[in-house]
Amino acid sequence: MSGGTRREPTTRRRTLLGGLALVGLGTLAGCTGPPGGDGPDGTEDMPARLRLKQVQPPDCENADPIRFADLSTAEQDLVETALEREEYAVPTEETSPAFDSLRESVEARSDTCGELVVYLRRGEAYYRVALVNGDNVIASTRPTPDRSTGS
């Protein structure tokens, strides 16, 4: 076997793994599966979603976590629901003012530590925020490549 033949399975494996990662993000965003609703590309029926994943404190010097204690009572309730049920989801057209306000806080921080990376701090615990509004991914809990190293 030549060196090129040995690399081919690794390349296929990387391509497959990369594709699976994109499908996973697309699933979070609701970009896969049969279209529904009457909106463009079936996006009308896609829910607005909030998920949180506990992580180590960010090592990004630009980190500006959303502080749980600074959220309104209604926003705190959304976060509590997302933590208890693993996800808060509501039809996009039925988002509450609290969800919209939280979305604005997330959007304002979505590029401070890399694309789509937002943290929430509750006490001493840190969470990566995943927030999707219909087919628009605003923040993701999926790791993003480190731009400084290109990995």
- pLDDT-derived band at 42 (thresholds 50, 70, 90) equals low
- In 3D space, the residue among 143, 127, 100, 135 whose CA is nearest the CA of residue 26 turns out to be 135
Whether the predicted model's global pTM rises above the 0.75 cut: no
- Are 22 and 32 contacting, i.e. CB atoms less than 8 angstroms apart? no
Do 48 and 97 fall within a single domain?
Answer: yes
Residue 39 belongs to some domain of the structure: no
93 found inside a domain = yes
* Closest by CA position to 138, among listed 146, 147, 130: 130
18 and 63 inside one domain: no
Tokens 């990566």 map to which residue? 128
Q: Which of 52-56, 78-82, 125-129, 132-136 has the lowest mean pLDDT?
A: 132-136
Tell me: pLDDT of 1 over 90. Answer: no
- 55 and 77 belong to one structural domain: yes
Residue 23 is assigned to a structural domain of this protein: yes
pLDDT band at 18 (very low <50, low <70, confident <90, very high): very low
Residues 82 and 10 in one domain: no
pLDDT tens-digit map of 123-137: 999 999 999 988 888
If asked whether residues 55 and 10 sit together in one domain, one would say no
Residue 144 has what pLDDT?
A: 54
Query: Is there a domain that residue 147 lies in?
Result: no
Please indicate, yes or no, if residue 85 is contained in any of the structural domains: yes
Which residues fall within 8 angstroms of residue 114, CB to CB, at 6 or more apart? 60, 144, 146, 147
**Which residue segment(s) compose the domain that 28 sits in?**
1-32
Q: Which uninterrupted H or E stretch holds 142?
A: none
- pLDDT band per the 50, 70, 90 thresholds, residue 38: very low
Q: Which 3 state secondary structure label does DSSP give 91?
A: strand
Q: Do both 53 and 122 map to the same domain? A: yes
> 60 pLDDT exceeds 80?
yes
Average pLDDT, the chain: 76
Q: pLDDT per residue over 103-124, tens digit each?
A: 999 999 888 887 788 999 999 9
Across 15-43, average pLDDT = 45
Shared-domain flag, residues 113 and 71: yes
pLDDT at res. 41: 54
User: Do residues 106 and 48 make contact, with C-beta atoms less than 8 angstroms apart?
Assistant: no
Residue 115 domain-assigned (yes or no): yes
4 shares a domain with 64 = no
For residues 86 and 16, membership in a common domain is answered with no
10 and 76 co-located in one domain: no
Residue 115 has a pLDDT of 77
Q: What SS3 class is residue 42?
A: helix
Number of domain units in the chain: 2
